[in-house]
Amino acid sequence: MEIKLSDHFNFRRLFRFVFPSIIMMIFTSIYGVVDGFFVSNFAGKTEFAAVNLIIPFPMLLSAVGFMVGTGGSALVSMKLGQGRKEEANEIFSMLIKVLTVTGVIFSIFGIIFTREIAILLGATENLIEPCVTYGRILLIALTPFMLQNTFQSFLVTAEKPKFGLVITVLAGITNIVLDFLMIGVFKWGVTGAALATGISQFVGAIIPVIYFFKENDSELKFVKSKIDLKALWKSCANGSSEMMTNLSLSLVNMLYNIQLMKYAGENGVAAYGVIMYVNFIFISVYIGYSIGTAPIVGYNYGAANKKEMKNVLNKSIIFNIVSGILMCAAAILLSGVLAKLFVGYDEELFSMTKRGFSLYSLSFIVMGINIYASSFFTALNNGLVSALISFLRTLLFQAAAVLLLPLVFGLDGIWLSIVAAELAALIVSVILFSTNKKKYGY
């Protein structure tokens, strides 16, 4: 039986609805891990360091895709909850058009300035060329990547989370197979890695485009639409927290890499790259859960069903607390195995990576609540509160920590920066949940 946004969600029904989104994000992270595994083990640690040094740049440009996906889907969900389906489809169609044009412009801009950005990020002579090669190929596929991320949110809003999972699996398998062929067999190094990723992103974008163009049985489809500046502004403002998260992560990753080049050289950047790949597997549970629950909150907000909003919030807090404790324990126990998988060929790099990930993973205990808090307020169409949480959590607190803690703890201070930032953000999240309780009635 198909689950509707208008249903009452007990734990079983809630998990059934969000499970595809969680698996979708886990699978997305796994094929990213495979990318890193092949580059590190078949191309070497210099190329691996180059990939991790430049990748924040295309991720920085792609942040607008997350903004439109989360902010737009929250607005569309609210319109559906109000029974305004035609308007919801017009907004959806308009947002995809705007995103496509924006992606093309950003892609051209990024390709032109890739070399300058690589130098600005501290690329040494050995790293510049692989940085430029990898970055430019990824930027060619920037628009499909932005669309793929946006459709992940809109497919949940369309009550088709399982279809979104199928698309992600297909894109992931494409990436894994091409990684094996282009890096493992043909030895194309970073060129093969970028081509494999780019082609998989085209797969992840084209299938939903075809689906929404055709007649379908979902809540959403492409229709004729004009530029609605009010809806566009509302979507962008509402999704600004998710854009802020991705902008901040890219900027902070650049800052981490600069600090790591200073304290540990190329090994530090390579170790951080491994931690980021593996870290995403764990936090993808939180991100997937937030993507899956946001349309439920948005729909019930539009329908003025405060009781159901409170029900979903309470269950979500419990989920994030329990999963945080379990994932922190699992990450610490598996730190050696995961580090060996990527950099077992270099003892010094292996030891650095294992310790770094063990310290970094302490942040998992509270990270889920902070990610959910930002997503929850986005779903309520309160972009300001959501953006505040994201800005403090992913930029201000982390930037301050990664600059200050190493002065006291050395290299360990860099790994612990995320822990300090998440603890500070938890205080902010709790305060904002409490101060907005009366306003929204949850």
- In the predicted structure, residue 32 carries a pLDDT above the cut 80: no
CA distance 101 to 114: 20
Given this model, what pLDDT does residue 1 score?
58
CA–CA dist 166, 123 (Å, integer): 38
- Whether 2 maps to a domain, the answer reads no
Q: What percent of the chain has pLDDT over 90?
A: 64
Provide the residue range defining the domain that includes 128.
11-440
pLDDT single digits (tens) 370-391:
999 999 998 898 888 988 998 8
Least confident piece of the model among 115-129, 200-214, 244-258: 244-258
Q: What per-residue confidence (pLDDT) applies to 245?
A: 74
Query: In the prediction, which pLDDT does 35 show?
Result: 79
Query: Residues 149, 203, 217, 226: what is their CA dihedral angle, to the nearest 10 degrees?
Result: 60
Which pLDDT tens digit goes with each residue over 395-442?
A: 899 999 999 999 999 999 999 999 999 999 999 999 999 999 999 988
Mean pLDDT of 58-70: 84
Q: What are phi and psi of 154, to 5 degrees?
A: -70, -30
Query: Is there a contact between 260 and 268 (Cβ–Cβ < 8 Å)?
Result: yes
**Helix residue spans in 264-345 (DSSP H):** 265-302, 306-343
Q: Residue 116's CB: how many other CB atoms inside 10 A?
A: 10
One-letter amino acid at 392 equals L
DSSP string, 163-202: HHHHHHHHHHHHHHHHHIIIIIIS--HHHHHHHHHHHHHH
Number of C-alpha atoms within 13 angstroms, CB side, residue 188? 17
For residue 206, count CB atoms less than 10 angstroms from its CB and return exposed for 0-12, middle for 13-18, buried for 19 or more. Answer: middle
Span 262-289, mean pLDDT? 90
**Could you tell me the two tokens for 15?**
């998990």
Interatomic CA distance for residues 49 and 289, integer angstroms? 31
Q: Is residue 296 part of a domain?
A: yes
Residue 307 has pLDDT above 90, yes or no: yes
- Four-CA torsion 282, 246, 139, 94, nearest 10 degrees: 110
Q: Torsion angle, CA of 110/111/113/118, rounded to 10 degrees?
A: 90
Range of lowest pLDDT (25-39, 283-297, 425-439): 25-39
Is it the case that residue 264 has pLDDT exceeding 70?
yes
Return the pLDDT at 266.
83
Q: Which alpha helices (H) appear in 39-160, and where do they start and end?
A: 45-54, 56-61, 63-81, 85-120, 125-140, 142-157
**Total of domains in the chain:** 1
Query: What is the pLDDT confidence band of residue 261, given thresholds at 50, 70 and 90?
Result: confident
High-pLDDT (> 70) share of the chain, %: 99
Task: Please enumerate in sequence order all residues whose Cβ is within 8 A of that of 320, keeping only pairs 6 or more positions apart, or say none.
Answer: 286, 289, 368, 369, 371, 372
- Distance of alpha carbon 406 from alpha carbon 357, whole angstroms: 16
DSSP for residue 159: T
Residue 418, in any domain of the structure = yes
Per-residue pLDDT tens digits for 133-160: 999 999 999 999 999 989 988 998 898 9
What whole-number distance in Å separates Cα of residue 436 and Cα of residue 442? 9
Instruction: Name 118's Cβ contacts closer than 8 Å, sequence gap at least 6.
Output: 53, 54, 57, 127, 128, 131, 132, 135
Quick check: 260 and 80 in contact, CB under 8 A?
no
User: If pLDDT is split at 50, 70 and 90, which confidence band does 394 have?
Assistant: confident
Going from the C-alpha of 400 to that of each of 22, 252, 396, 418, 427, the distances in angstroms are 31, 10, 6, 10, 16
**Poorest-confidence range of 5-14, 58-67, 202-211, 312-321?**
58-67
The residue count of the chain comes to: 442
Q: How far is 200 from 174, CA to CA, in rounded Å?
A: 5
Residue 3 lies in a domain: no
Statement: residue 167 has pLDDT above 70:
yes
Q: Assign 44 a pLDDT band (cuts: 50, 70, 90).
A: confident
Residue 318 within a domain: yes
Span 171-229, pLDDT tens digits: 989 999 999 999 999 999 999 999 999 999 999 999 999 999 998 999 899 999 999 99
User: Read out DSSP for 329-364?
Assistant: HHHHHHHHHHHHHHHTT-HHHHHHHHHHHHHHGGGH
What average pLDDT score do residues 69-98 get?
A: 92
Per the prediction, the chain carries an average pLDDT of 91
Alpha carbon 317 to its chain centroid, in Å, reads 20
Mean pLDDT of 266-287: 89
Does residue 19 belong to any structural domain of this protein? yes
Task: Give φ, ψ of 162 to 5 degrees.
Answer: -65, -35
Measured distance between the N- and C-terminal CA atoms of the chain, rounded to whole angstroms: 28
Residue 293 has pLDDT above 70, yes or no: yes
Q: Which residues contact 187 (CB under 8 A, 6 or more apart)?
A: 42
Q: What is the per-residue pLDDT for 421?
A: 97
pLDDT score of 34? 81
Tokens of 207: 């299938």
The answer to whether residue 33 sits within a structural domain is yes
Judge whether 263 and 410 are in contact, CB under 8 Å: yes
